[in-house]
Amino acid sequence: MRPRELLAAVPTPVAAGAAAVGLGLATWAGWVEPRRLVVRDVELALPHWPATLDGVRAGVMSDLHAGVPHVGLGTIARAVDALNALAPDVHLLLGDYLDSSQQWRRDLAPEAIAEQLARLRSPLGTYAVIGNHDWRNSGDRMWRALDAQGITVLEDRAVKVGAFWVAGLGDMRYRMPNVVHALRAVPEDEPVIVLSHDPDLFPRIPARVSLTLAGHTHGGQVAIPLVRRPLLPSHYGERYARGHIVEDGRHLLVTSGVGTSGLPVRFLAPPEILHLHLRNPQVTRNLSVT
């Protein structure tokens, strides 16, 4: 049977229903879900995280990709407001603030984006790494813009934040990240969180790190059940697509971020910011028993 004859054989109500479903899915993926910013609460019992730091909370944001459909300065402002409403102890930013396709837009200059991010408020401050899209535009300019607003940018170095450390790694596509150098200042017995824009660096992270945070993948953007995510920019496929991953006792958390890359669609991989609750395993066990 020829395609035209096959289509003609399909009952009109069935064809109309299929078209309506297709249109609905396309509208959801291309218009609705990319605008539905989710605040995701995540509680993690972490190795090498002391009881004295049990309950520390962090706001995490990644992959704004400002300039793509659905993400302008207004979207960034709303995300910042949502993070501030959580009143975390510290804010952690994971890169790709400006989409590389928008480098000539003056209204989305790195300085304008940094000005919005500077509104983040927390007792311990805001710490950031630079992503591949930032470097593809002008990573140095984004770095300077964030730094000028009081946001600490970390590349292969660590800083003491209260009673723990935050280390940041350079982007693996445009820089030469050095994990050993990044952790050089951190005493072996003190807790440290590592910021890496790309989760593909996780196999290099030593076991003494309490938690590695990453973005870059956007959760695959399209996550059809039982089907491989088609828009997943990782050498490891689904391994580090999204969420909490534990390998050999080492903990990684990958966020799907706020914006999109390539196709401006999302399906079952909503944009998100994270509200982390960092727990000591022993305290958590004791609470569960009582």
Interior angle at CA 76, CA 279 and CA 137, nearest 5: 105
Give the mean pLDDT per block of 10 residues along the chain (290 residues).
54 56 57 86 98 98 95 96 99 96 77 98 99 94 98 99 99 97 98 99 98 96 78 89 97 98 89 98 70
Q: Torsion over CA of 268, 269, 272 and 275, rounded to 10 degrees?
A: 90
Q: Quick one: pLDDT at residue 290? A: 42
Do 216 and 198 form a contact (C-beta atoms < 8 A)?
yes
What pLDDT, in 10s, does the model give residues 16-41?
A: 555 554 556 556 566 577 889 999 99
Q: Quick one: pLDDT at residue 9? A: 57
77: buried, middle or exposed (CB in 10 Å: 19+, 13-18, 0-12)? middle
Bridge partners of residue 160, in order along the sequence: 165
pTM: 0.90
Instruction: State the Cα–Cα distance between residues 191 and 202, nearest whole angstrom.
Output: 17
Q: Quick one: pLDDT at residue 18? A: 54
Interior angle at CA 251, CA 247 and CA 253, nearest 5: 115
Instruction: State the Cα–Cα distance between residues 172 and 240, nearest whole angstrom.
Output: 15
Q: Quick one: pLDDT at residue 12? A: 65
In degrees and rounded to multiples of 5, residue 165 shows phi and psi of -115, 150
Q: Quick one: pLDDT at residue 288? A: 52
In degrees and rounded to multiples of 5, residue 249 shows phi and psi of 80, 0
